Amino acid sequence: MPQIDIRLPDPPTPAGSYIPAVRVGNFVYLSGQIPFVEGQIKYKGKLGKDVTVDQGYQAARVCGLNALGALKNEIGDLHRVRRIVKLSGYVNSTEDFTDHPKVVNGASDLMSEVFGDIGRHSRIALGANSLPLGSAVEIDLIAEISG
């Protein structure tokens, strides 16, 4: 794993009836993360109207950082990550917005930055009519870990 200087946030408290992570064998399934920074949503609104693609990219990066914080909280040490398997990105967007992949790259690029080649993953980037608490982006992921 490459050495980079990133401070991971404490995972946000779930806002609903779910847990942040579930382990099944050597896989960890993370619940969706929105761009919480110090207990507040940093990026709210719709891409294509209220939020620029660059802001959406940054929102996805914050979601990715929150996901890594939740993953570390679950497994104790990110050096146990064998592979980021899949990342799903949901973009709160207008009907005519089509740059979802550019937005979700914020989280994907972070995974490659943190983990190198094992951070490269399969992915989906979808538009959504709305997201929890008005968030601009939501990210979830699946990671394989060492036993």
CATH number of residue 63's parent domain: 3.30.1330.40
- pLDDT (average), residues 45-60: 98
What's the rounded Cα separation, in Å, for the pair 35 and 64? 8
In a domain, 14, yes or no: no
The H-or-E segment that residue 41 falls in is: strand 40-41
CA 98 to chain centre: 19
In a domain, 40, yes or no: yes
pLDDT digits (tens, 9 = 90+) for 65-83: 999 999 999 999 999 999 9
In a domain, 27, yes or no: yes
In a domain, 105, yes or no: yes
Is residue 3 over pLDDT 60? Answer: no
In a domain, 39, yes or no: yes
Q: What is the DSSP letter of 11?
A: P
Q: Tell me the pLDDT band of 1, cut-offs 50, 70 and 90.
A: low
